């Protein structure tokens, strides 16, 4: 390969040749003048000389053109060779970076294929590409749902049509979760991203939760529409799993690329949720804490944006009307005060209605109620009396109920899928599927939650602390199961933590509490993850503790941990012998305390006066 200095020398020689040619042409013109003066005398002789000279000019010109052509060719060859080298080196570096990102994933080929079009070696850009990888698959799934709706209409399959329409809604939520994650990555410095890895993982995990809910909406064992959606969902689920794998190993991936990130002090566990030194979720801001403190007393310093009263003494008679008045360009909190009364209406706090704070006159005085149920034709997630989609939701001194009764089967009182939700001093009453912690981060404190079958369920990252869990009387031939956690993949960043709670039977169950079996839980999905710690169990809890989900092998992969629980139902000697059902020690339990598990709450509850336990409830 010619060096740059060699190329310059050749160009210099070509330039000298060009100057020599110009001097030669000037001399030739002078000779032509002399020939004109003597052309009559020596016409033949000089004509021959002229032809010779012209021949030399032509030869010299052609030679110069050849020289210049050689120079240009050399320069082009050098540049092209250099460009090819740089291109090859870029591609090689990009492939190496892609390989490092994909090596920790469960679906490596899918990971590499999804990054094939990426030529960047910037780890941040590669991370963004990994997170966005499921998006195209989700869009294809959305379009597939549209085409299947047409087919469902032709076959008059209304149930499948509804399920497909709801799938589209859920897929829209899944895409929102990916976009939220992508924005957070874009707004963060690469070397500090580790501080937000858990938060990012929670958002990506919600994609799996929404997809799983989509599949559960279809009726029938051999539903062809469900099969089509399930097959179409494989790619997006694999790519979502890959994104979660990359996030969980981000620190090691960056180190392998020669980057040292500012990682937090190491722990022995993923941090599901995080609180500050006051023992409150760290997402709460100082202003939110003041709002909660003011809401402790009637007549506090709260200034609501909207007042709801059934008797007409407020601005609105319904909660829905107050939500409909939500300002488009709101800054801060939208505060709704709901006066005492039973409000029989179905409420959804939409995704555009962020930072809603609703409070009432007491959990048994201000009640939102409904009676939608699965037996009435509604899919479970659509039975909720009160649903929360918008982020930053807070509820205090409220009651939420579903009165469908045990005959209604799945009938949700409160469903939350909005991130950073907090529920304080509320009552949540139902029978089967009372509280649906569907997705994202959720915190419950000083609440009463009642039900029968799977009445605390979902796939969110939820902690319920210092609350009373009341087990009601189910239908005949039914048993009670308190929890049914819904983690579907081991890579998901979700789980249910019950700490410092008291589990007791309802009065109607009391006399038959030994006859009607009550279990701490059953694994709704394959990777169900639940921790009971520092809680008090009544004597009616079955000694084996947990029961399998019929027709599945979920007991082989689910996780149930117990630590320092009290009461006659807390004896663990006869617990089921599943691989991951175990009693853990204090060091292990510390991973699941609020101080470790509530990640990202530091600006959300910093100065609140709400009582809170950030570490262990008991000293030992």
Give the integer Cα–Cα distance in Å for 219 and 226: 8
SS3 annotation, 340-392: CEEEECCEEECCCCCCEEEEECCCCCEEEEECCCHHHCCCHHHCCCEEECCCC
Give the integer Cα–Cα distance in Å for 109 and 133: 13
What are the C-alpha distances in Å from 552 to residues 106, 219, 421, 525, 549? 23, 18, 32, 9, 6
Asked if 360 and 340 count as a contact pair (C-beta separation under 8 A), the reply is yes
Give the integer Cα–Cα distance in Å for 100 and 119: 14
Measured distance between the N- and C-terminal CA atoms of the chain, rounded to whole angstroms? 75
What are the C-alpha distances in Å from 406 to residues 12, 396, 544? 96, 27, 25
Asked if 452 and 424 count as a contact pair (C-beta separation under 8 A), the reply is no
Asked if 478 and 515 count as a contact pair (C-beta separation under 8 A), the reply is no
Asked if 293 and 608 count as a contact pair (C-beta separation under 8 A), the reply is yes
State the CB neighbour count (10 A cutoff) for residue 156: 8
What are the C-alpha distances in Å from 317 to residues 31, 335, 375? 111, 16, 30
Q: Is 139 helix (H, G, I), strand (E, B) or coil?
A: helix
Asked if 5 and 12 count as a contact pair (C-beta separation under 8 A), the reply is no
> For residue 266, what is the DSSP state?
P
Give the integer Cα–Cα distance in Å for 363 and 338: 11
Closest CA to 383 of 457, 441, 319, 440: 457
What are the C-alpha distances in Å from 273 to residues 296, 422, 614, 618? 25, 12, 11, 20
Verify whether residue 195 is a known catalytic residue: no
For the chain, how many helices (H) and strands (E)? 13, 26
Residue written as token pair 């169990």: 537
> For residue 404, what is the DSSP state?
-
- How far is C-alpha 364 from the geometric centre of its chain's CA atoms? 35
Tokens of 443: 């915190």
φ, ψ of residue 514 in degrees (nearest 5): -90, -25
State the CB neighbour count (10 A cutoff) for residue 425: 22
Q: Is 215 helix (H, G, I), strand (E, B) or coil?
A: helix
Considering 157, 288, 419, 454, which one is annotated as catalytic?
454
Tokens of 368: 């939102």
Burial of 618 (0-12, 13-18, 19+ CB in 10 A): exposed
Question: Active-site positions?
Answer: 454
């Amino acid at each position: 390969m010619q060096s740059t200095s060699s190329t310059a020398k050749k160009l210099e020689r070509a330039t000298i040749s060009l100057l020599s040619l110009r001097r030669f042409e000037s001399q030739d013109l002078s000779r032509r003048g002399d020939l004109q003066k003597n052309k009559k005398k020596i016409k033949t002789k000089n004509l021959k000389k002229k032809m010779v000279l012209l021949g030399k000019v032509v030869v010299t010109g052609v030679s110069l053109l050849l020289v210049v052509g050689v120079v240009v060719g050399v320069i082009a060859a050098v540049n092209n060779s250099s460009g090819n080298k740089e291109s090859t080196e870029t591609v090689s570096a990009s492939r190496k970076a892609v390989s490092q990102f994909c090596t920790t994933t469960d679906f490596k080929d899918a990971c590499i294929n999804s990054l094939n079009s990426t030529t960047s070696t910037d780890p941040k850009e590669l991370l963004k590409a990994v997170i966005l990888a499921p998006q195209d698959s989700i869009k294809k799934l959305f379009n597939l749902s549209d085409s299947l709706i047409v087919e469902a209409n032709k076959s008059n399959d209304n149930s499948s049509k509804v399920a497909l329409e709801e799938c589209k809604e859920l897929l829209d939520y899944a895409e929102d979760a990916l976009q939220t994650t992508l924005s957070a990555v874009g707004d963060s410095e690469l070397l500090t991203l580790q501080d937000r890895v858990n938060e990012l993982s929670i958002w990506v995990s919600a994609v799996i939760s929404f997809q799983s809910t989509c599949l559960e909406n279809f009726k029938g064992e051999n539903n062809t529409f469900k099969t089509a959606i399930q097959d179409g969902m494989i790619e997006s689920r694999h790519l979502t799993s890959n994104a979660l794998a990359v996030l969980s190993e981000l620190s090691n991936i960056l180190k392998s690329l020669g980057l040292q990130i500012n990682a937090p002090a190491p722990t022995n566990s993923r941090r599901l949720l995080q609180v500050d030194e006051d023992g409150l979720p760290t997402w709460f801001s100082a202003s939110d804490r003041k709002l909660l403190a003011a809401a402790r007393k009637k007549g506090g310093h709260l200034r609501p944006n909207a007042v709801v009263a059934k008797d007409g003494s407020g601005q609105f008679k319904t909660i829905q009307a107050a939500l409909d008045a939500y300002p488009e360009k709101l800054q801060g909190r939208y505060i709704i005060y709901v006066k005492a009364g039973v409000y029989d209406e179905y409420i959804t706090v939409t995704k555009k209605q962020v930072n809603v704070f609703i409070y009432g006159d007491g959990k048994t005085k201000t009640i939102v109620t409904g009676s939608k149920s699965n037996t009435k034709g509604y899919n479970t997630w659509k039975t909720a009396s009160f649903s929360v989609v918008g982020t930053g939701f807070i509820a205090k001194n409220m009651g939420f109920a579903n009165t469908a009764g045990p005959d209604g089967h799945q009938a949700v009182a409160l469903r939350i899928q909005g991130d950073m939700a907090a529920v304080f001093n509320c009552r949540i009453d139902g029978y089967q599927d009372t509280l649906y912690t569907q997705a994202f981060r959720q915190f419950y404190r000083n609440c009463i939650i009642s039900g029968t079958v799977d009445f605390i369920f979902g796939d969110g990252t939820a902690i319920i602390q210092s609350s009373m869990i009341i087990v009601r009387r189910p239908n005949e031939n039914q048993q009670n199961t308190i929890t049914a956690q819904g983690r579907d993949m081991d890579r998901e960043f979700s789980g249910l933590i019950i700490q410092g709670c008291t589990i007791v039977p309802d009065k109607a169950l009391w006399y038959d509490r030994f006859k009607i079996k009550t279990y701490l839980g059953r694994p709704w999905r394959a990777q169900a993850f639940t921790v009971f710690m520092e809680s008090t169990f009544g004597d009616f809890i079955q000694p084996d503790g947990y029961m399998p989900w019929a027709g599945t092998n979920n007991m082989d992969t689910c996780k149930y941990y117990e630590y320092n629980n009290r009461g006659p139902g807390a004896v663990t000697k006869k617990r089921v012998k599943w691989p991951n059902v175990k009693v853990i020690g204090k060091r292990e339990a510390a991973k699941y305390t609020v101080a470790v598990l509530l990640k990202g709450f530091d600006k959300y509850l910093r100065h609140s006066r709400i009582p809170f336990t950030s570490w262990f409830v008991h000293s030992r």
